[in-house]
Structure 1
Amino acid sequence: MNQIRVLVVDDSAFMRKVVTDMLQADPQICVVGTARNGEDATRKNIKLKPDVITMDVEMPVLDGLGALKQIMIERPIPVVMVSSLTSIGAHTTMLAMEAGAVDFVAKTSGSISLDLFTIADLLRDKIKLAAQATVRQTNVSEPVQHNSLNLSSLLRKPKERKLVAIGVSTGGPKALKDVLTRIPRNIAAPIVIVQHMPEGFTKSLADRLDSLSDIQVVEANDGDVLEDGTAYIAPGGKHLKVKSVGGQWICTLSTDPAVNGHRPSVDVLYQSISLIPEAAVIAVIMTGMGADGSEGLKQLKTNRLCYALAQSEETSVVYGMPKMAVRTGKIDKVVHLQDLANQIKGHC
């Protein structure tokens, strides 16, 4: 198996050395070079042709976000951002994900993290995942139509209330932007979302999407009453469930154990919705690694009226979650990313 060639970008010589040593401890990874700022990184992306770049967010001359945008134009490759846990760092990281970064890790204690070794395994895993990702420039092809069961009329007949439930992971922030910014404010359904993301970043994601969308987008709070035209994003580190109480749908949050390595988990969300008798569900599985959502989808299809969509392989950064959902036989239609919003609107 060929080694994954990595370019390490950080303005701190100490951090460049620490990250390089951490990565090269894994025989599957080879650091082919380092860069001290974003301008240096864009040059070395062309010269060294790495498979993956780790990119510090805050740097002089050209910061990580500026470098990422240039890389996506000149030679698009998977980029894993290395961010601080500050509110500014979280906001910039969301902009980077929107601009095409595949994933991110958070420095444990500021720009110079002496204990960065505590996330060494996580960083190495993110790089291995990034190496499998499909990265493309911002222009995408026209929506592709796929053969599927025509169940569009099925959800228009019942009197049950509609609920959109989205599960997404790697590549999610950019994909969610493409979908939510196309949803009208008067959509006759609330939207609940599980995006795999650590604590401290989902609020920035919600705020960013809210600023771009006609609908309201919020980080879910325990006890929130679901309202049409509002999207509720599960907080990092907490499971999101929906319960029916006195005719209202209520968000409940918990720190119960992770399910298949995830908290929040799409399976947990879907399984909770499957118990709501009056819910007609539009379930959407989007880009991401793994199989989260597949088991919950089976339960939704067994217990509830449910129309299920999966993001297409050619528009997914990682075609893991959608692929596994399709394999269940419970997906009604495979949809190009740019057509997902139309599909959702058409069933609400």
Structure 2
Amino acid sequence: MNKVRVLVVDDSAFMRKLISDFLQEDEQIEVIGIARNGKDALAKVELLNPDVITLDVEMPLMNGLEALKTIMERFPRPVIMLSSTTKEGTENTIKSLQYGAFDFISKPSGAISLDLYKIKEQLISIVKTAVKANLKNIHVKNTKIYPQQKVRYSKIDTYREESTISSVKSKLNKTIVCIGTSTGGPRALQHVLPKLPAEIEAPILIVQHMPPGFTHSLANRLNTLCAITVKEAEEGEIVQNGTAYIAPGGSHLKVLKSSNSLVIKIDKSEIRNGHRPSVDVMFESLSMIQDYRKVAVIMTGMGTDGTEGLKRLKSTGEVSAISESEQTAVVYGMPKSAVGTNLVDKVEVVDEIATSIMKYIRN
């Protein structure tokens, strides 16, 4: 088997050495070069042609964000960002994911992390997954977002017959949308949420696998692109139609019924499927809400999170399930697992998911 050839980019010699040593502990990975800043990285990418790049966000001369833009334009390939949790670091990390980075890892204790060993296994796993990524869906030039775009309806159903959408008008007149995603998710959300109209008659709950400190920046970034309101979910708030609530990194997002309202509960209960927040936890929470129709969406991501929760949703209420297609998913893990249950009603390319959501809500 060919080894994954990696270029390590960081302005700290100590961090370059540490990252390189960690990666080369795995027999399937070979570090073929190092670079000390963005300009150096561009020269090394052209010279060495690595399979995967680890790229520090904050560097002198040319930072990681500037280097990433050029890499994705000239030498597109999977790039993993290493980020600090400073305000500027988190904002730039979210931008990098929407500019084409495959994924990111948060340094445990700042730019020079003596305790980097804490994320060693995560780093190795992401590098080995990145080389298999659906690269054409990471590198998309000149992606345009139209916040006030009208939702149009496709006449082509890519999975089941159109009649399955709703042959009989539902007796339930309230709907909630729930979305689960992971690797590649920020960019996928950028393709879906801006196409939802401000007057959508449903709240939207979102689990995006992320560590603490980053989901606030993600929500703020998406909010600038959308007609709906996008925010990080807060404990105790009442969900409203036309608002998308993103689970805070490091915490589960649940919903409880209180009188005639739905109330958000944020907690740090046990990790599920290796994740907190977990899609399964959110879906299972919603399965307890009986007087709402649900539209469940599972998009790009590694693993199987969301599959068990989808089973629970389908067995306890009226649920329409949408999965992102292999054609557009950066990582076809979570969507593939969901499709394998035979409970998914539609498989859609990412640009048609919003159309399907609206179709289910309005039927």
Gaps of 5+ in 2: 144-153
In the alignment, what sits opposite 1:298?
Answer: 311
In 1, Cα distance between equivalents of 2:107 and 2:167: 48
**Residue of structure 1 aligned with 2:243, choices 206, 217, 230:** 230
Is the contact made by 2:157 and 2:346 (CA closer than 8 Å) also made in structure 1?
no
**1:199-218 CA deviation, whole Å, 9 max, x = no partner?**
11111111111111111111
With structure 1 as the length reference, what TM-score do the two structures score? Answer: 0.96
**1:14-33 CA deviation, whole Å, 9 max, x = no partner?**
21111111111221110010
Change in CA separation of 1:202 and 1:38 when aligned onto 2, cut-off 3 Å: same
Task: Tell me by how many angstroms 1:152 deviates.
Answer: 2.6
In the alignment, what sits opposite 2:33?
Answer: 33
Identity of aligned residues (%): 50
Amino acid at match of 1:173: P
Gaps of 5+ in 1: none
* Match status 1:284 vs 2:297: yes
**Residue of structure 2 aligned with 1:158, choices 164, 171, 174:** 171
In 1, Cα distance between equivalents of 2:168 and 2:285: 20
Compare 169-178 and 70-79 and name the one that shifted more.
70-79
Is the contact made by 1:155 and 1:307 (CA closer than 8 Å) also made in structure 2?
no
* Match status 1:59 vs 2:72: no
In the alignment, what sits opposite 2:184?
Answer: 171
Compare 278-287 and 102-111 and name the one that shifted more.
102-111
Q: How many residues align?
A: 346
Report runs of 4+ in structure 1 exceeding 4 Å deviation.
Answer: none
In the alignment, what sits opposite 1:333?
Answer: 346
Is the contact made by 2:235 and 2:265 (CA closer than 8 Å) also made in structure 1?
yes
Amino acid at match of 1:34: I
In the alignment, what sits opposite 2:99?
Answer: 99
**Residue of structure 2 aligned with 1:147, choices 146, 159, 165:** 159
**1:115-159 CA deviation, whole Å, 9 max, x = no partner?**
22222122112211212211222158xx98513143333585333
In the alignment, what sits opposite 2:49?
Answer: 49
Is the contact made by 1:312 and 1:334 (CA closer than 8 Å) also made in structure 2?
yes
Compare 36-45 and 96-105 and name the one that shifted more.
36-45
CA RMSD of aligned residues (A): 1.5
In the alignment, what sits opposite 1:324?
Answer: 337
Is the contact made by 2:159 and 2:345 (CA closer than 8 Å) also made in structure 1?
no
In the alignment, what sits opposite 1:21?
Answer: 21
In the alignment, what sits opposite 2:140?
Answer: 138
Amino acid at match of 1:262: H
**Residue of structure 2 aligned with 1:194, choices 204, 207, 213:** 207
Does the residue aligned with 2:327 lie in a helix, a strand or coil? Answer: helix
Compare 34-43 and 269-278 and name the one that shifted more.
34-43
In 2, Cα distance between equivalents of 1:103 and 1:32: 20
**What does 1:201-280 correspond to in 2, within 5 Å?**
201-280=214-293
